[in-house]
Amino acid sequence: MIEAGEFDYVIAGGGTAGCVVAARLSENPNVTVCLLEAGPSDVNDGAILRLEDWMYLLDSGYDWDYLVEPQEKGNSFLRHARAKVLGGCSSHNSCIAFWTPKEDLDEWAANGCEGWSAAECWPRIRRLETNDGPGDHHGRDGPVNIRTVPPEDPCGVARCWRQRRRPACRRRASTRVRR
């Protein structure tokens, strides 16, 4: 780590996006990159590594602790969580991963979001993941490990899903979630 000096790139915010951009730029050994983060490092912090306790991190100093503006019809004490730690919200979130439905991406593209169609985005998602789920669309050798939620997962995701009477199966990869 370089303490001070001049850099080819300075990235403000060592959150999810900032860390990825810094990592990708640093792959070139000929450029220098400075990543600035307002919060502390999360490296080797057991509290961050215990996924089942992620909600306690929201009240631990690893969050900016924003409050919402007073609401006209009540519910004004809601917290608006935003991480203040290296890794950003990906350090203190519950690590749930969804594949973006094809129809949503294609709708974005049809509405003018150039480059966001499923045909353009899905190969990138595939490249990102090592996924243990069924289907040819999944990546098997990317840097991010994604596994199917086990029935008794430590975060209680599957339990909440069942309590909301959702079927305990994978939804089809191209199906939009409806309430």
38 binds ligand FAD (CB under 6 A): yes
**Site residues for ligand FAD, window 75-114 (CB under 6 A)?**
81-85, 88-90, 93-97
Q: Are 41 and 86 in contact (CB under 8 A)?
A: yes
Residue 51 in contact with ligand FAD, rule: CB under 6 A: no
Candidates 14, 35, 99, 146; binder of ligand FAD (CB under 6 A) is 14
User: From CA 31, how far away is CA 132, in angstroms rounded?
Assistant: 36
Closest by Cα among 107, 112, 137, 111 to 124: 137
Cβ closer to ligand FAD: 19 or 118? 19
Quote the tokens at residue 80: 């608006």
**Measured from the CB atom, is 63 or 102 closer to ligand FAD?**
63
- How far is residue 161's CA from residue 68's CA, in Å, rounded to a whole number? 27
Shortest separation between residue 87's beta carbon and ligand FAD, angstroms:
7
- Report if residue 159 touches ligand FAD, rule: CB under 6 A: no
- For residues 128 and 143, the answer to whether their CB atoms sit within 8 Å is yes
How many Å apart are CA 105 and CA 136, to the nearest integer? 19
Binding site residues, ligand FAD, CB under 6 A: 12-18, 36-39, 58, 81-85, 88-90, 93-97
